[in-house]
Amino acid sequence: VKEANPEAIILAEQYGESKPWLLGDQWDTVMNYDAFMEPVTYFLTGMEKHSDEYHPELEGNGDQFWRSLLSEIEKNFTVPSLYTAMNELSNHDHSRFLTRTNHLVGRSAELTPQAASRSVRMDILRQAVLMQFTLPGAPTIYYGDEAGLCGFTDPDNRRTYPWGKEDHELIAYHKELIRIHKEVAELMNGSLRIVHSEGALIAYGRFTRAGASLIVINRNSYALTRDMFVKMLGVPTECIMRRLIISTKDGYRSEPVKEQVSDGLLTLQIPAMSAQILRYSSVDHLTAEEFWKKNQIHFGEEDPFPGSRVG
């Protein structure tokens, strides 16, 4: 393949450890089950990716989410293969993510295809999509997910596209996140850092020396107010961060909202069942040495997950 086209990408479907094939002389990357689909699905729904099991102890368990995601990144990826990994919420072999939100265990043969769309949670799907576009990897949409298509595991997950019955608000939400992902460089190639992990509330940063994005996911059914130590992302101690998008129980909004950072802390009122992206964009063109010296980034005792910086 590489002899025919040196720029061709070899993308593999692999269950289990992938790193031996990702050292530069065989595959380029893989379908990211272990460091994306599974940890995101368990954190947001507690469901196994085929809808074969429900694990309530994993639903809303932020610490376990980070342990799983970070250990799988270390075990399975090099940095280039991670940043190009195929981050899917659903695909041809597993139940649709929207169906997993209803906590029904089983398959279409026993539950009927109609059950796949029963009591599904669009707010949880929107949280998952926002994570899909902000965690390291290449966001990959399985056709129909953007339109609200449901389905149990193969073959029910291969239904035809719902022409004329699409969820147009959900499509618009995907388009907005696609736009943000294209415009915000650190979401494509920035480092990853855990900012907060408290039960069903997690926050993480993607950052370069030119900009930093804070992603906050509240899987709780109640609102919270929390201080986020954004200085660890290279954000100045006193500055304005701009909210790019927020999803709540009632839908989403993408009008810009300014939030004040004081003494390196961003105090946020976080709605129930929400997901949001906030960003600081540096106007200064700094060298790497100038950036890290100016912002005095320290790792260690401030880090709730030592070694949790990726990139």
Average pLDDT over residues 265-293: 81
Residue in 270, 123, 266, 282 with CA at minimum distance from that of residue 208: 282
- pLDDT band at residue 311, thresholds of 50, 70 and 90? low
- pLDDT band at residue 297, thresholds of 50, 70 and 90? very low
- The predicted-structure confidence for 185-228, as pLDDT tens digits, reads as follows 999 999 999 999 999 999 999 999 889 999 999 999 999 999 99
- The percent of residues in the chain predicted with pLDDT above 90, rounded, is 84
- The predicted-structure confidence for 53-96, as pLDDT tens digits, reads as follows 999 999 999 999 999 999 999 999 999 999 999 999 999 999 99
- pLDDT band at residue 111, thresholds of 50, 70 and 90? very high
Q: CA-CA distance, 157 to 179, in Å (whole number)?
A: 27
The sign of the torsion formed by the CA atoms of 171, 177, 182, 183 equals positive
Question: pTM higher than 0.85, yes or no?
Answer: yes
Q: CA-CA distance, 282 to 295, in Å (whole number)?
A: 12
Structural domains in the chain, CATH included, are 11-183 (3.20.20.80), 190-295 (2.60.40.1180)
Q: What is the per-residue pLDDT for 25? A: 84
Interhelix angle for 62-76 vs 38-45, to 10°?
Answer: 170
- The percent of residues in the chain predicted with pLDDT above 70, rounded, is 91
